[in-house]
Structure 1
């Protein structure tokens, strides 16, 4: 089963509840999804790897399933990363333009100037995302190459994460037999899949509601302005059901998926559900409204925390086109309606768009990140592979030694 099609791109969404592997094929017409594999995730908590063995097993399962469906062998993947350790910040850099015309070297220099901020040793820069360029006080420039001027300024959004967490993701993938081409922030990937160019232009907030984390990304004028990850997600809802209805976690998850609704007003008074008990006791029949009463305050809390984060970012006034919610937890009935009440903005569910192939299979918010990783990979396939902090130190030492030998001998 060798990779017949060289232009295959694989996204691996390593989530708290599931690990999902999606294979995309680049064609002249665009991107076709040709394989998909999914397996329950056992080794993560709140988006961070806490058990490498379990994570490796889950990754292997998902990858094998995707390989069988796509009829190919998977060698490299674009892996998603989330977790409360992720921090995003805005920075800017200024340089003088050498030949009075912006060259690719100038772009590299100005981005280097913008990323020259003090980052603690235990953190790794995951992304440097250009927001806009300014040439001699002319702002709002997206593509500065070839333009004339004296000074070039770049505004960038820098995403950093804990080195250890990034290393554990790479380690898990390597042990499962795949290389990591790049580590991608999960909400950045999801935004590739579910947001339209018009929304990013007008201003939009993407909320990716996963099992262990809720990821936020704010776009305005076509560029990313703010990113944040909150360590609260769908698992908290399951936990609340398990405690509130006194039922095992696995059953609570099923009940949430089949009968859950996060707006009490949407549930009929006479609707009932059967709830299995713990420790061999008999199952009970409870009203479905009771379930909604457990879910509603928790979902309200998640959205309130997200809203607080958006206000804190200072970009609340720029979200003209509203909010897009995606991720597995956004499937719960009543989610968009409850979000609209809290944000006072139009809210829609985000489904993966702009793809061909197995569209009916991946047509769910659950696969937004996976499809987004493939889309991200197809746009950035030319970039050098991702390296974790420790390796860089080693490379620098070798380089330095070579230079010394050059000087002395």
Structure 2
């Protein structure tokens, strides 16, 4: 039975998570060997704002994962999120090259390269490209044209681009923590690898990953990635609302949210049960908080967040075409009754997604906030080892060039 050890790092706004896992090459089963979880520092809304703090937090996470797993971490897979990421769709066509007009992987590669030939600002570069569909001589919605006969091959692709400097700061934060980066991908794309089934992708589904500082959205249809975006709102905004309205320290507000919060503010007839005593800004003095008011604050923010998500679904053009509904991941979706509120607001199925097909220390990571890290494990394994030329792109990508440059520089 062949296994491969893969390491993933999820650099988030509120936490840094490093996961070491072995992947069964026959079954795809993931056995978690170790996890390193530390509070995030130097990262706001997915963007590195203090590189020294970020390095310290990532290094601590790596160290903890190494201690628990007994594995020396040298290379990792990383996910990116933040407003420095944008997406667009591209379409291109090539003539089928072979004399017998049979479409080969070479034709698909040429079409893919043609789709990348889009005009983007010099300070941005492509980090992810996924084919949406192929067209052969006018015949549309072809998933895999390999082996088909035709004269003209068209491709429609979804492309994610990043600001180079912001991405380089993320790369350096990990690199200076002692680990080399194999590849970087989009956070929502990674999370989808952990929680979505093939049926979800085929029928039409929205993956919504609500982290501490961002909400990442990925829409899948017909088995393909069709739309992505990053919203600058997350679980931290829920906590900040409590801080402002109730005038509490952030750590107290966060504890209130986790221990007593709900996305639906039901009225409370028992006045005594409605009162929560907490520590305020004045040392030694308790502050009385209304549970009803707490949940009204959370419900207002939850409704606003759901409206932003629904607006993005409408913008994608896929509203009403997603029978598999919404799958929620990320730490913020564990706010009680958030999924229920979202179901009521948008009128389609909503469920909380957790990583699938796990063994080992699965009880530590079988929660929605670990979807990105586990998805990176699965995605990294699919890419194969660094020397597996058959599974690598024929040309060095910009990300690979940047990674090589940083390695040589440092």
TM-score (norm 1): 0.91
For 2:323 and 2:399, how far apart are their aligned partners in 1? 38
For 1:121 and 1:86, how far apart are their aligned partners in 2? 14
For 2:375 and 2:269, how far apart are their aligned partners in 1? 37
1:15 aligns with 2:12: yes
Structure 1: unaligned runs, 5 residues or longer: 395-409
Alpha-carbon RMSD across the aligned residues, in angstroms, is 2.0
Matched-pair contact (CA < 8 Å) for 1:213–1:231: yes
State the partner residue of 1:398.
Answer: none
State the partner residue of 2:41.
Answer: 42
State the partner residue of 1:93.
Answer: 92
State the partner residue of 1:345.
Answer: 348
For 1:145 and 1:223, how far apart are their aligned partners in 2? 17
After TM superposition, give the deviation of residue 6 of structure 1 in Å. Answer: 7.9
Q: 1:216 to 1:266 in 2, by over 3 A?
A: farther
- Report the 3-state secondary structure (helix = DSSP H, G, I; strand = E; otherwise coil) of the residue aligned with 2:19: strand
State the partner residue of 2:368.
Answer: 365
State the partner residue of 1:299.
Answer: 302
For 2:404 and 2:356, how far apart are their aligned partners in 1? 40
After TM superposition, give the deviation of residue 36 of structure 1 in Å. Answer: 1.0
> Which segment is superposed worse, 295-304 or 142-151?
142-151
Q: 1:23 to 1:154 in 2, by over 3 A?
A: same
For 1:67 and 1:312, how far apart are their aligned partners in 2? 43
Q: 1:386 to 1:10 in 2, by over 3 A?
A: farther
State the partner residue of 1:279.
Answer: 282
Matched-pair contact (CA < 8 Å) for 1:266–1:334: no
CA deviations 1:141-165 (Å, max 9, x no partner) are 2222222211111111001111111
After TM superposition, give the deviation of residue 70 of structure 1 in Å. Answer: 1.6
1:29 aligns with 2:30: no
For 2:289 and 2:194, how far apart are their aligned partners in 1? 39
Q: 1:182 to 1:53 in 2, by over 3 A?
A: same
- Report the 3-state secondary structure (helix = DSSP H, G, I; strand = E; otherwise coil) of the residue aligned with 2:320: helix
After TM superposition, give the deviation of residue 285 of structure 1 in Å. Answer: 2.7
After TM superposition, give the deviation of residue 191 of structure 1 in Å. Answer: 0.6
For 2:74 and 2:400, how far apart are their aligned partners in 1? 22
For 1:117-128, list aligned pairs within 5 A: 117-128=118-129
CA deviations 1:181-214 (Å, max 9, x no partner) are 1111100001111111111111111110000000
1:325 aligns with 2:334: no
State the partner residue of 1:229.
Answer: 230
After TM superposition, give the deviation of residue 126 of structure 1 in Å. Answer: 0.7
State the partner residue of 1:402.
Answer: none
For 1:393 and 1:201, how far apart are their aligned partners in 2? 37
> Which segment is superposed worse, 145-154 or 88-97?
145-154
- Report the 3-state secondary structure (helix = DSSP H, G, I; strand = E; otherwise coil) of the residue aligned with 1:319: coil
Q: 1:307 to 1:296 in 2, by over 3 A?
A: same
State the partner residue of 1:167.
Answer: 168
For 1:212 and 1:342, how far apart are their aligned partners in 2? 22
State the partner residue of 2:67.
Answer: 68
After TM superposition, give the deviation of residue 276 of structure 1 in Å. Answer: 1.0
CA deviations 1:115-172 (Å, max 9, x no partner) are 1110111112010101122212222222222222111111110011111111011110
For 1:323 and 1:26, how far apart are their aligned partners in 2? 28
After TM superposition, give the deviation of residue 298 of structure 1 in Å. Answer: 0.7
Matched-pair contact (CA < 8 Å) for 1:180–1:386: no
- Report the 3-state secondary structure (helix = DSSP H, G, I; strand = E; otherwise coil) of the residue aligned with 1:16: coil
- Report the 3-state secondary structure (helix = DSSP H, G, I; strand = E; otherwise coil) of the residue aligned with 1:74: coil
TM-score (norm 2): 0.91
Matched-pair contact (CA < 8 Å) for 1:273–1:287: yes
Q: 1:16 to 1:264 in 2, by over 3 A?
A: same
After TM superposition, give the deviation of residue 104 of structure 1 in Å. Answer: 1.8
State the partner residue of 2:388.
Answer: none
Q: 1:337 to 1:253 in 2, by over 3 A?
A: same
Matched-pair contact (CA < 8 Å) for 1:190–1:368: yes
- Report the 3-state secondary structure (helix = DSSP H, G, I; strand = E; otherwise coil) of the residue aligned with 1:241: helix
Matched-pair contact (CA < 8 Å) for 2:168–2:402: no
> Which segment is superposed worse, 315-324 or 52-61?
315-324
1:335 aligns with 2:344: no
For 2:57 and 2:3, how far apart are their aligned partners in 1? 26
Runs of 4+ deviating beyond 3 Å? 266-269, 384-394
Q: 1:272 to 1:138 in 2, by over 3 A?
A: same
1:140 aligns with 2:138: no
For 1:300 and 1:368, how far apart are their aligned partners in 2? 23
- Report the 3-state secondary structure (helix = DSSP H, G, I; strand = E; otherwise coil) of the residue aligned with 1:13: strand
